Amino acid sequence: MSRAAQGKKLEFTGERFTPECVREIFYEHWHRYAWARGLVGDLDVLDCACGEGYGSRLLADTARTVVGVDIDTESIDHADRRYARPGLEFMAANALELPFDNHRFDVVVSFETLEHLVEHEELLASFRRVLRPGGFLLLSSPDRKTYSDDTGYRNEFHVRELYRPELEDLLGRHFPNFRLYGQKLLFHSALWQLDSAETGLAAEHLGAGDDGSVHRALQPMQAPMYFIAIAAATDAPLPEPPALSLFDDGAESVYGHYNDVVRKHILVSEALAERDAEIARLEARIEHADAARPGRLRQFISKLWPGVRK
């Protein structure tokens, strides 16, 4: 699905992502659904708090059916107009009072929802009720430490963020069979095998230390910004996505923006250097003029009044 899907755009207010957003926020949101898309093949899916509807549309590429729900009726009306297709429907509903029978879905997807509500227990109980035995939940949650504490940033739309132990305790009470993944936008050099042979480790992460040493691990060393949970209420096997998932766009928008900012910074630095050099030249001329001015003044006075002592 193209990001430039036909239909009127939904205004971006900061509360709900829209596909017209670019660079970092696009990568974060789109990656989650692109990753989930590979886990819901031929399953009945509920996309809870679907917002603008782009994620439900992505899931519908592989799922048997997708129902996107959101409490905002404007978003649902927009999604209906923009993404209508067989096997995909949208409806206005409260996540805490889902209008579905018990055991209606194989998968519940709920990205960027938990932190917008205070009623975490009620939300997960609602998800568990509509999941079939053996079904699973895909849930995202910002890590309060890295998202808010470490940055000093406060998202006005987040009412209750969780630390990792709090998230694990919450999941354990409703979906005790869970696995956590971390997500964060990082700057990497990517190196990959170009032929189809599958040899060696599936992935590795190399990091440079401040002392010039190189650290090798199977996953990034940075703390995640978001947690993504795959969780089930039973002992049913959980889906097995790749241990590492990378995401980008064909235009390399984040990297292109970075290069553009660097180029502008270089141009501004060069202009400032030229300005400083010109200021130095002007100051030197002023100093030279000031030094010469007393002698010239004495010569002028002596011509006016020859008897004046030089």
Joined together, the tokens standing for residue 58 give 């992505």
Distances from the Cα of 36 to the Cαs of 16, 239, 298, in angstroms? 19, 10, 88
- pLDDT at residue 134 greater than cutoff 50: yes
Mean pLDDT, the chain, integer: 86
Q: pLDDT tens digit string along 232-263?
A: 999 999 999 988 898 888 777 776 776 777 77
Distances from the Cα of 298 to the Cαs of 7, 287, 307, in angstroms? 82, 18, 12
Q: pLDDT tens digit string along 184-236?
A: 988 888 888 888 766 666 788 888 888 888 888 888 888 999 999 999 999 99
In single-letter form, the type of residue at position 134 comes to G
Q: What percent of the chain has pLDDT over 70?
A: 82
Q: What is the pLDDT, as a whole number, of residue 292?
A: 66
- pLDDT at residue 76 greater than cutoff 90: yes
In single-letter form, the type of residue at position 248 comes to D
Q: pLDDT tens digit string along 4-16?
A: 444 556 454 444 4
Q: What is the pLDDT, as a whole number, of residue 304?
A: 59
Q: Quick one: which H or E segment has residue 196?
A: none
Joined together, the tokens standing for residue 61 give 């590429």
Q: What is the pLDDT, as a whole number, of residue 250?
A: 79
* Helix pair 24-37, 253-304: axis angle to 10 deg: 170
Q: What is the pLDDT, as a whole number, of residue 302?
A: 60
Question: How far apart are alpha carbons 308 and 302 in whole angstroms?
Answer: 6
In single-letter form, the type of residue at position 254 comes to V
Q: What is the pLDDT, as a whole number, of residue 280?
A: 84
DSSP state of 286: H
Please spell the DSSP secondary structure of 104-143, one letter per residue. Answer: -EEEEEE-S-GGG-S-HHHHHHHHHHHEEEEEEEEEEEEB
Which among 156, 175, 168, 181 has a CA at the least distance from the CA of 39? Answer: 181
Strand partners, 48: 69
At residue 135 the predicted structure's pLDDT band, cuts being 50, 70 and 90, is very high
Q: pLDDT tens digit string along 103-112?
A: 999 999 999 9
Q: What is the pLDDT, as a whole number, of residue 12?
A: 45
At residue 176 the predicted structure's pLDDT band, cuts being 50, 70 and 90, is very high
Q: What is the pLDDT, as a whole number, of residue 296?
A: 62
Q: What percent of the chain has pLDDT over 90?
A: 55
Q: What is the pLDDT, as a whole number, of residue 2?
A: 46
